[in-house]
Chains A and B, each alone.
Chain A
Amino acid sequence: MSLDFNLPEDAEEVRQKARKFANDEFKDEIAAKYDSEEHYPYELRKKAFDAGLVRIDNPWGVLLTMEEFCRVDPGLGLSILASVFGSEMLLLYGNDEQKQKYLEPVLKGSKISGVAVTEPGAGSDVAGISSRLDQADGELVLNGQKMFITNGTIADFFYVLARTSPPPSKEKRHHGMSLMLVEREWPGVSVNKLKGKLGMRATDTAEIKFEGVKVPRENIVGETGKGFYYVMTFFNISRVYVAAQSVGIAQGALDELLNYIKNGGPRANEESTQFVLAESASKIEAARLLTYRAASLVFQFNPDPALTSMAKYFSAEVANAVTDSALEIMGQRAMLTRLERLYRDSKITEIWEGTSEIEKLVIARTLVKRAMQGDQNAQ
């Protein structure tokens, strides 16, 4: 077992840069405004791109930036960083034409992407989707509905998962799905912004309908029928980023608690407050180390799905627990700080990119499979 994270040399520099940007740009009154109005921060996104803070070719950079952005304001941070959402799929499985047409403008910041997998009737159960890409008169036609899609009304195109053939058997439900690039402006695509979210309210979320959308053959990513596999590979990457979101949120709550103590808040010196601080800090440190370890394997193209899921599930739980106990101990005055926003923002980390329940299934199945195979590394 390697305990070397293989952090790149510029890691600390990137972290400091992200931290400075977040502190300068995500001022509380600005963050509160986007939160209450549920607006997407176009200008801040542009600024972050101009500052060179969104660079998918530097995955550690993305991870540390995610952590530092979420530490200050998760809604704004996510809005910016998720504008390249799904790019790893094209990077890994796309052909040169697709990369040139779709990926490059996203990486330059001139276009926004989105991932359209979840459906009204299929969330955790990805293989349960019912969107279909059918052949009709020699053309490929997409029909279906997608739900809770990040960047739904602002993305230029989506990575869409749809069925291209029926499942061969009940056990092989995940066969027969394909991944395709679908532009938002195409005829038959309609989007509807979902308002009134608990948290992450600066991010754009929508439901999408595909009604007889003609999809050119060249927009299929990778091989037909392998979409489920591509999406799962992507989740294995994106889950470490969600783990980093959670670590950032928890750290932000801890920052608030430390501020309160430093400034002599009414309960600053009491032992129950000190214990909340100690327990929270310990949990965060554990979550961070787990996240970095899972990430280091992902970034070395040697992911361990059990470890990735542990990082995602554990860190999300830590984010929820730390924001909860910090609010509780700081009391009513904490409602006037960004802590109440962090509390609301934290909950989604237990849901998106695989609920905590799904993560636990992945962990258990991976470990049992390894034990069955007599793998020495099984833990």
Chain B
Amino acid sequence: MLSEELQLLKQIVEEFSEKEVDPSALKIEKEGVSQEIMNSLAEKGFLGALAPVEHGGAGLDEKGYNVLLQVLSKHSPSVAFYVFLQNSLFINPIMKYGTKEMIEDAVPRVAAGKASGSIVSHLAGSKLTMDGQSISGTVDLVPNSNANMLLVLTGSGKESMLSLVESGFSIAGDSRKLGFRGLRFSSLSFNGAKAKYVLVNENAESAVSEIYKESSTHISAMALGMSEAALDKAVSYAKERQAFDAHLVEFQPIAFTLAKLLAEFNIYENYLYSITSVKEGMMLKALSLEFSRNVSRASLQVHGGYGYIEDSGIERFYRDTMALELLTGDHTADMTSLSRELLGNESARY
């Protein structure tokens, strides 16, 4: 179902992940994504996957980018989330809302791995204020808080703005990490930080919500990548582990559970590569996030005590699938948007 070109890309990303990511998958969780891995991600063009070639990117189309995220998520959700953050939540909005000058300044640096980006939204509940061009306040749970370039959402409603900030912020304290432990999450404080550029000068809240909506397919690709890996591991383990003088897979309840999840996975994966609209992406996101949690929970259950310990790489999916849900949107907002897409603007008001 994937074109030959995409098959080839898939193979390239698989080989890259096996060589560069797998050997240090546990280390990434404990010590972070190393500079070495960052360099090889940049070298392969993954950090600028969505950026056009003339701006130093790989110029991948949506399908190619989804292949990249799906495969990386199988091997290291932390690495995949980092790539997602650089592309879907940093490069993409700049390409969409930035002027030529802003694009030429910011995008090539991120694509080359010379700078690292992140986004500061309202998802964790705290809000920053903008006075003139100066930003103040503290915001929690900024992913990849080591970033040197931030897209910062300030204010609310019509007054809200989206700016690019390169200095004037500092880490106020590290946040606990449910998932994607290979990335740093911190509270950042802004003390009169200057906006280098203003990308959106009014109603930026809706612009940011658009950015997340347009990332729905990418988020689904990560959810499905994690699901695929958790399922693969569960199937192998069920075929090799014995109890009561039989392999686990010989027991109906385990076989039925895995068979049903595999069926669902195949249907979702096929759908993923047929998506052509934002609406379809939103539909898949609503299903695949919950699906990925069900899969990781089932996989952990099949592995029993072994799945509970980090060495197996299973418990990570249990945490990361939930973290993906929480870090990429607000469930109620997502469901409201989806309802209105499918049922009209009067729906889901109360």
Contact = CB atoms under 8 A, between A and B. Distances in A.
Q: A interface, by DSSP: helix, strand, loop or mixed?
A: helix
A328 B326 CA distance: 7
Max count, chain B CB within 10 A of own CB: residue among A273, A327, A329, A356: A327
Q: How large is the interface on B (under 10, 10 to 19, 20 to 34, 35 or more residues)?
A: 35 or more
Max count, chain A CB within 10 A of own CB: residue among B251, B300, B304: B304
Contacts of A199: 308
Contacts of A331: 123, 326, 330-332
Nearest to B300: A347
Interface residues of A, number: 47
Contact of A271 (B293, B322, B350): B350
B327 A332 contact: yes
B305 interface: yes
Interface string B291-320: 001000100110011001111000100110
A351 B304 contact: yes
B175 interface: yes
Nearest to A271: B350
Contacts of B332: 267, 270, 272-273, 329, 331
B177 to A, nearest CB: 8
Interface in B107-162: 123-125, 140-141
B335 A272 contact: yes
Contacts of A170: 245
Given A125-B243, A324-B293, A347-B318, A332 B330 contact: yes
Given A123-B243, A270-B350, A335 B323 contact: yes
A309 to B, nearest CB: 15
B125 A194 contact: no
A230 interface: no
B309 A118 contact: no
A344 B141 contact: no
A324 B140 CA distance: 22
A332 B304 contact: no
Nearest to B314: A198
B228 interface: no
A157 B253 CA distance: 37
Interface in A4-47: 32, 36
Contact of B176 (A125, A340, A360): A340
A94 B75 CA distance: 51
A118 B306 CA distance: 12
B305 A332 contact: no
A128 interface: yes
Given A36-B176, A272-B332, A334 B326 contact: yes
Contacts of B53: none
B301 A348 contact: no
Contact of A336 (B141, B310, B327): B141
A374 interface: no
Contacts of A320: 297
Contact of B178 (A32, A123, A196, A335): A335
Contacts of B251: 357
A197 interface: yes
Contact of B305 (A123, A328, A335, A357): A123
Interface in B158-211: 175-176, 178
Max count, chain A CB within 10 A of own CB: residue among B141, B178, B318, B323: B178
A21 to B, nearest CB: 24
Interface string A304-345: 000000000000000010001001110111111000100110
B269 interface: no
A199 B244 CA distance: 28
B304 A196 contact: no
A332 B141 contact: yes
Nearest to A325: B331
Nearest to A118: B305
B301 A356 contact: yes
Contact of B243 (A36, A124, A197): A124
B124 to A, nearest CB: 5
12 contacts: A125-B244, A196-B310, A198-B319, A270-B350, A327-B326, A331-B332, A335-B141, A335-B323, A336-B176, A347-B308, A351-B308, A356-B301
Interface of B: 123-125, 140-141, 175-176, 178, 242-245, 251, 253-254, 293, 297, 300-301, 304-305, 308-311, 315, 318-319, 322-323, 325-327, 330-332, 335, 350
Return the 3 tightest CB-CB contacts between A and B, nearest first: A196-B310, A198-B315, A125-B243
